[in-house]
């Protein structure tokens, strides 16, 4: 695959201008819709003398925020059209990221003769990004799903609003594609496994990972056990969910302990599994920790950030897994076959 990359500034074409001008139609429609909602709320509720100053103030703040947001998008589109240029990028995709942003809004409902009940509405927005030679670009899902790591793409964006005006995959990562197809035809590469003794520092690392996993089960198991002990003489039907949860987490916990006992009894062995890297994906969120995944010829694996940054698409990897406990604790590059 060729690795030539370039950045270029070009004038907007007629099609580009039409695409940007369509944003005005969407913004006007959205503005009219939001304005109608605010108008109805104000006329039906806030214009009466029953409401105090605080609701009117809050309403005004929200109306101002929406006005600023709509005005900003209008201004951004106007600046893009006025400049009359677009930024063009061509290069290798070095990273892919999905960002999930979750917001919560509280709702309060008052039923007749009852206390106020609270509830929460959650809204999750998903954004897709690809990195071309260390510069991140926002794209839609269709564009995101078209590419893999090490593919060469061409991208045109507006300077202010970063609207994607053109997106093309110039060159697929043929090394990965051909290797993946040959692996499917010959399954002998992925399924080669070797059992080897582990080093002392690797054993300590596996112990830390294992006990971290078991602690998560204990965090649920201990409170459930205490609640069962306290509520045991209560109504049985209310205890059923706690009993089911107790059995589930107890079963899961003792399976893990049994697996670790086998791992220890058999002399702390590890298995080496050869795989081919097909793609990489990073998932960020404002509610969860960042997840790192590598798609291989033998399935998708979750890895640490260190391992994620270490490997590249098309490389042959050796997966180091602790036997019986099935813990992937390290990944090394197979230098002989890469």
Residue 180: predicted pLDDT: 47
Residue 121: predicted pLDDT: 66
Residue 330: in which H helix or E strand, if any?
strand 327-333
- How many residues in total does the chain contain? 338
**Per residue in 115-163, pLDDT tens?**
445 555 677 889 999 999 788 999 999 999 999 998 999 999 999 888 8
Per-residue confidence in pLDDT tens, the chain, 338 aa: 555 568 889 999 999 899 888 888 888 888 888 888 888 877 776 666 666 677 777 778 888 888 888 888 889 989 989 999 999 999 999 999 999 888 775 554 544 444 445 555 677 889 999 999 788 999 999 999 999 998 999 999 999 888 899 999 998 876 655 554 454 444 444 445 567 888 999 999 999 999 988 888 888 888 888 887 777 766 666 778 888 888 888 898 899 999 999 999 988 999 888 888 889 999 998 888 899 999 888 888 888 888 888 888 778 888 888 989 988 888 887 766 65
Residue 185: predicted pLDDT: 43
Burial of 73 (0-12, 13-18, 19+ CB in 10 A): middle
**Per residue in 81-105, pLDDT tens?**
999 999 999 999 999 999 988 877 5
Write phi, then psi, for 296 (nearest 5 degrees).
-120, 175
Contact residues for 289 (Cβ-Cβ < 8 A; gap 6+): none
SS3 state of residue 301: strand
Mean pLDDT over each residue of the chain, to the nearest integer: 81
CA distance 16 to 156: 10
Residue 296 has a CB neighbour count (10 Å cut-off) of 24
The count of C-alpha atoms lying within 13 angstroms of the C-alpha of 316, restricted to the half-sphere facing its C-beta, is 13
Record the pTM.
0.68
Q: Give me 128's structure tokens.
A: 């897709």
First to last CA, the chain: 15
Rounded (to 5) percent helix, strand, coil in the chain: 45, 35, 20
Residue 110: predicted pLDDT: 47
The count of C-alpha atoms lying within 13 angstroms of the C-alpha of 228, restricted to the half-sphere facing its C-beta, is 14
- Helices (DSSP H) in the chain: which residue ranges? 14-41, 53-83, 141-146, 174-185, 200-231, 236-265, 305-310
């Amino acid at each position: 695959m060729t690795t030539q990359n370039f950045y270029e500034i070009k004038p907007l074409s007629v099609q580009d201008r039409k695409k940007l001008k369509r944003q005005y139609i969407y913004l006007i429609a959205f503005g009219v819709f939001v304005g109608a909602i605010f108008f109805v709320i104000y006329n039906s509720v806030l214009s009466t003398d029953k409401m105090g100053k605080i609701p009117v103030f809050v309403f005004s703040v929200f109306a101002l925020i929406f006005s600023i947001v709509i005005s900003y998008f209008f201004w951004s589109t106007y600046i893009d059209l006025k400049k009359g240029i677009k930024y063009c990028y061509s290069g290798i995709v070095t990273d892919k990221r999905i960002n999930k942003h979750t917001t919560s809004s509280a709702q309060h409902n008052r039923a007749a003769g009852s206390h106020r009940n609270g509830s929460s509405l959650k809204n999750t927005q998903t954004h897709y990004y690809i990195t071309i030679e260390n510069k991140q670009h926002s794209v839609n899902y269709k564009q995101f799903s078209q590419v893999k790591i090490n593919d060469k793409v061409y991208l045109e964006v507006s300077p202010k609003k970063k609207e994607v005006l053109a997106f093309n995959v110039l060159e697929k990562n043929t090394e990965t594609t051909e290797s993946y197809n040959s692996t499917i035809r010959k399954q002998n590469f992925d399924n080669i496994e070797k059992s080897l003794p582990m080093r002392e520092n690797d054993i300590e690392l596996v112990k830390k990972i294992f006990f971290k996993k078991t602690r998560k089960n204990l965090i649920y198991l201990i409170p459930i056990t205490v609640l069962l002990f306290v509520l045991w003489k209560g109504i049985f039907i209310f205890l059923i969910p706690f009993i089911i949860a107790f059995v589930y987490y107890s079963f899961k916990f003792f399976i893990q302990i049994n697996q670790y006992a086998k791992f220890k009894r058999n002399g702390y062995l590890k298995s080496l599994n050869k795989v081919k890297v097909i793609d990489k994906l990073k998932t960020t969120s404002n509610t969860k920790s960042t997840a790192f995944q590598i798609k291989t010829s033998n399935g998708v694996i979750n890895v640490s950030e260190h391992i994620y940054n270490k490997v590249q698409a098309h490389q042959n990897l050796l997966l180091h897994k602790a036997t019986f406990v099935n813990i992937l604790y390290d990944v090394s590059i197979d230098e002989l076959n890469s």
